[in-house]
Amino acid sequence: MENIESRIEDIAIGLSVSAEKIKLVYDNVKSKGIIQGDDLRQLTEIGIPMVRELAALYGKTTTEIQLMVQNGEIDFKHFGAVFLYLTNEGGMFYELKKKQSQTWGYQYKEALKQIIMKAYNAGWVDSENKGLDDYSAEKYYKENFEKI
């Protein structure tokens, strides 16, 4: 599946969870070739509506989907199709990483990271950013805007 890491990041941003958690379950299902109950439980705990989306894909009830999972009847192909559906245009997680990167808060946070790195490179802070908190970084930025 093309750019699955990017799609997983979109889902992770939408649910405010670690992309690594989602990737772990995804890779687990991929390696087994089928989705199992534990995988379904983990995805549900993360907040991915896998049962609901599989039910829509198969035209079954959620109870029927859970039985199909118990019987090993849902393969990786259909599991992956749900990931694609959720992250394709119109899906609930479509391009969330891109949308987040366009927010003022995200851009501000990235700018502060750049300021801290410049201050670190100039020797103003140590490797743990001691001596330059967000307020100091902002103040440094305002005072040294032309130099940066």
> pTM of the prediction?
0.62
Q: What is the pLDDT along the chain (148 residues), one digit of tens a residue?
A: 458 888 888 888 888 888 899 999 999 999 999 999 999 999 999 999 999 989 998 999 999 999 999 999 999 999 999 888 888 887 767 766 766 655 566 566 666 777 777 766 766 555 554 555 555 656 666 666 555 5
Domain parsing of the chain, residue ranges = 4-100, 103-143
106 neighbors 90 (Cβ within 8 angstroms): no
